[in-house]
Chains A and B, each alone.
Chain A
Amino acid sequence: MAWFQKTKKGLAPKEKAEVPDGLWLKCENCNEIIFRKELQKNRFVCQKCRFHFRIGSRDYIELLLDEGSFREFNVDLISVDPLKFKDTKRYTDRLQAAVKKTGINEAIRTGIGTVDGRKIVFGVMDFEFFGGSVGSVVGEKIVRAVERAREQKYPLVLVSASGGMRMQEGMFSLMQMAKTACALSEYAKEKLPFISILTHPTTGGTTASFSMLGDVIIAEPGALIGFAGPRVIKQTIGQDLPPGFQRSEFLLQHGFLDMIVDRSRLKDTVSLMLKHLCD
């Protein structure tokens, strides 16, 4: 019954996992060939080098929340095309393609779930949907999630995976940085924690707004985290970037993260942090 419910409510059958199909996969860090089933069992972490394969929103829901506990809200908010934006393709066509590819409506899913029985408001971005870019809908869903957490007095946990603001919505996208900050500034008045989890990659305006505003900031190992993208920096300074630049370990060293947590310990860590802050 529990399994059946989860399938119906949590996972639409057409949703695809992030990691490419195929029986065998190659670790992009150490080139180890890994049996898919084995990798899956290990939360898509290479057992040889601890490289964290990028995983999707569905995987994080399974990873962090108690089984079958996720109740998604605002699923029906969908993007419009306020600028009638067209580059080589129409924005509306790109959106449709993203929905078709991922089986989800936008680059973030938000809802209520439990972590070891504790109710939280949970948001998780999905890089597969439009590079996890933040447009009006992502901003609105985050604001509604923050408001829900504030009203119901639940902790807030947000998993970021994003290339930044969505160009195709122009200034509407940039405004989401301010908009989410406004919501979080209200939330911060309450005795409620906001745990921000940064995954590979989290860059641009996403990092420069809600992602970096967590009371607690946790990153997965090896994640690219920064404001400017490496390509832009390289172009600006005219030299190669040092190894490890803008990776989680670099950010921890420079004081911008509380901790780097291996995916296998992520749920336990979040759970313990919530206990320390909320019990």
Chain B
Amino acid sequence: MAEMFALEFERPILDLEKKIKEMKLLSGNSKMELDDEIARLEKKVEKLRADVYSSLTRWQRVQLARHPERPYTLDYIRRILTDFLEMHGDRGYADDAAVVAGFATFQGRSVFVMGHQKGRGTKDNLYRNFGMPNPEGYRKTQRLMELAARFQRPILSFIDTPGAYPGLGAEERGQARAIANNLLLMANLPVPIVAVVIGEGGSGGALAIGLADRVLMLENSIYSVISPEGCASILYRNSAEAPRAAEAMRVTARDLEELGLIEEVIPEPLGGAHRNPLETAERIRETLDRHLQELCALPVAELIKRRHARYFQAGRWEKAKS
């Protein structure tokens, strides 16, 4: 079996787990001698896990959010939705594989689902452009959200992108306008919208499918106005200062919950979503379902009113004492 990718702080845990597994295989024959040792190691790994994951730094969460083994949008779509019909193309220029979208069944009702899609492995990542959409990706979602609204289908959005793609073609084809149009559309879309950040919430490229009635975040996902590296290269003139920037910008799910900018943090299994994708998906399903049911009970006018109120209160300022 191929060696699993491991972050620095994951390595000691994975090594111990591997050792325990090997010993268990061995102990099949001569049970008695190894049992004590296995028990000792299991206790040790349990303590190690608890220690590491109860005191993650913001930068470690950034790394977990970008973990190459982390479940991506299509993984969750497959696990918590059925009857998914993926749809393609912006009807103007191209299909963008960095964004997936289509209709599916969620808890017995038809919904529109969309999300950024990262690739697994080099080839797949090139195809998915590392989950960084071009304008046609956003225009695909725009087209299909309009369709969803016309047929009164609620919208689920999975957010997981380093950002909108900063390329020549993207600028030529109006990246800014594409994002802005999505925001304007979503601001007034007469159906419930629930967004869940499953990995990286990279700035405007994330928000472009993230203006929603409820915004949920997986515990180890991040959401920020600029990437920690981008922030660091501007403010500290050194992108290696990204960990500091992640601290300063407060990019984690818990941070944003504390700041009142998201509705709920969805706890991940110990070690992160990639250590137990099924359990993670199940938790997302439950949380999404609860929020969607609440939203579907609201009359449209009330829904939009609350959506606007949600964003109007986003910001902190004061009146100067004159």
A contacts, CB < 8 Å to B: 76-80, 82-83, 85-88, 105, 135-137, 139-140, 143, 165-167, 169-179, 181-186, 188, 204-205, 207-213, 225-229, 232-233, 236-237, 241-242, 245-246, 250, 254-256
Contact = CB atoms under 8 A, between A and B. Distances in A.
15 contacts: A76-B320, A80-B316, A135-B315, A167-B226, A174-B223, A178-B183, A178-B211, A179-B311, A186-B188, A208-B175, A212-B176, A228-B167, A229-B166, A250-B172, A254-B174
A259 B211 CA distance: 30
Instruction: Report, nearest first, the 8 A-B pairs whose CB atoms are least far apart.
Output: A228-B166, A136-B315, A181-B183, A175-B314, A185-B187, A207-B176, A87-B235, A208-B179
Contacts of A233: 166-168, 171
Interface stretch (B30-38, B103-111, B153-161, B247-255): B247-255
Nearest to A143: B312
Contacts of A88: 235-236
Contacts, number: 198
B312 A182 contact: yes
Contacts of A175: 261, 311, 314-315
A208 B173 CA distance: 13
Contact of A227 (B176, B226, B234): B176
A171 B166 contact: no
Nearest to A91: B248
Given A86-B248, A176-B315, A254 B172 contact: yes
A77 B224 contact: no
Nearest to B237: A88
A158 to B, nearest CB: 13
Contacts of A140: 315, 317
A133 to B, nearest CB: 10
Nearest to B185: A185
B223 A256 contact: no
A105 B176 CA distance: 28
Interface string B219-246: 0000111100011001110000000110
A173 B231 CA distance: 13
Contacts of A176: 314-315
A236 B179 contact: no
A182 B226 contact: no
B207 A174 contact: yes
Nearest to B180: A212
Contacts of B188: 185-186
Given A78-B320, A228-B166, A233-B166, A178 B187 contact: yes
A166 B251 CA distance: 14
B298 to A, nearest CB: 17
B277 to A, nearest CB: 27
Contacts of B322: 76
A181 B188 CA distance: 9
Contacts of B208: 208
B317 A78 contact: yes
Contacts of B207: 174, 177-178
A204 B202 CA distance: 13
A174 B174 contact: no
Given A80-B316, A170-B225, A227 B175 contact: yes
Contacts of B172: 250, 254
B184 interface: yes
A233 B169 CA distance: 10
Nearest to A77: B317
Given A83-B250, A173-B225, A209-B183, A178 B170 contact: no
